[in-house]
Homo-oligomer: A and B are copies of this chain.
Amino acid sequence: MSNDRTTVAVHGATGYAARELLTILLRHPGAEIVALTTRRDDAPHVADVHPALRGRLDLRCENLSPAELAERAEVVFLCTPHGASMAVVPELLAAGAKVIDLSADYRLNDPAVYAEWYKLEHTDAARLPDTVYGLPELFRDVIPAASLVANPGCYTSASILALAPLLAGGWIEPSGIIVDAKSGASGAGRNPKLGTLFSEVNESLAAYAVGDHRHQPEIEQALAGVAGAAVDVLFTPHLVPMDRGILATIYATPANLAGTERLLDVMRAFYADSPFVRVLDGLPGTKATTGTNFCDLTVRTAKGRVVVLAALDNLVKGAAGVAVQNFNLITGRPETTGFPEAGG
């Protein structure tokens, strides 16, 4: 499968993550985009939906069934909202397609936790416990064999990548972790809402869903596996007046007396073989990651705390980029294929 082009489809192709995904796939030497979908019935041309793609991709967004999708494409990316993904995954898999789901439907292993946080009974609950969580930096050993990959959330990727090295090595306590995260507005999606109008977001900064955001249990679940113990995270997201980018500022209790330099070494060693993680001496900023699949990290000790900082582009490393990393892994390609920023 790795020598020729793999046929791919994007289900739910009208949002920001889908546009980013198409941009990456268009430059990918091993992907051939063969189908796009939308719930709309007027089959809009992708260039009318995403003007940046005019002249680059000549496809319409059709209202296709899972069977039609699976017939056309070997790999289907789901850019649908939660709830909509689980409605098509069983049929796609049954028809032999591989699926990379960018929604939250298959991220949580426990259907009860899903129901609690998403206020929705999971209709494909049996599949949850074994679905692979598609964060390649932690799970690149098991992703290649998967036919369904649950692509992680944007906030969660930043938070998990920041904390995993320190929890894995026992450098910080697994309880009492605070993640103060800030995101640009594209993370809120492309459906018109009052709260994401330009005149509302511009010159505005506010927290939302304090201690009550759906990425909180996702972070805790993934990190529990890393730490080998329950992990307790207080997660506070903020909406920042920019289009793209997430910065997570994370506060943890040290488990020993290691200083900044030692912890930087720990992080560098942990990610030595991860081409998309850059551990910095200086402080990361979102702008240095914009349009790339990098996650920039650093760590500091200060006032008896360990402070970890993570920056990434929410649409790339936080969504479409990691999806293509997963695509590379499940199709037997080098993880960096299609990413010029990593020489791929």
Contact = CB atoms under 8 A, between A and B. Distances in A.
B242 A241 contact: yes
A40 interface: no
Shortest beta-carbon contacts, A-B, top 10: A211-B302, A206-B285, A27-B340, A204-B287, A192-B192, A51-B288, A234-B303, A198-B201, A185-B198, A180-B180
B204 A242 contact: yes
Contact of A54 (B27, B52, B278): B278
A90 interface: no
A27 B342 CA distance: 9
A199 B290 contact: no
Interface stretch (A104-112, A245-253, A327-335): A245-253
B238 A241 contact: no
A211 B300 contact: yes
A25 to B, nearest CB: 11
A205 B182 contact: yes
B192 A193 contact: yes
Contacts of A202: 185, 198, 202-203, 242-243
Interface string A115-155: 00000000000000000000000000000000000000000
Given A210-B302, A303-B211, A307-B236, A287 B197 contact: no
Interface string A287-304: 111111010100010111
6 contacts: A56-B341, A182-B205, A204-B286, A206-B247, A233-B303, A241-B241
Interface in A185-231: 185-186, 190, 192-194, 196-208, 210-212
A273 B178 CA distance: 34
Contacts of A340: 26-27, 340
A9 interface: no
Contacts of A54: 278, 280, 288, 296
Given A197-B197, A202-B198, A240-B241, A302 B212 contact: yes
A199 to B, nearest CB: 5
A16 interface: yes
A311 interface: yes
A84 to B, nearest CB: 20
B197 A307 contact: no
A206 B283 contact: yes
Given A180-B249, A241-B240, A288-B51, A194 B203 contact: no
B290 A203 contact: yes
Given A190-B194, A196-B198, A204-B285, A300 B210 contact: yes
A8 to B, nearest CB: 16
Nearest to A195: B192
A294 B52 CA distance: 9
B199 A16 contact: yes
Interface string A240-271: 11111101010100000000000000000000
Interface in A274-325: 278, 280, 282-292, 294, 296, 300, 302-305, 307, 309, 311
A232 interface: yes
A283 B234 contact: no
Given A180-B180, A249-B180, A251-B234, A284 B206 contact: yes
A243 B244 CA distance: 14
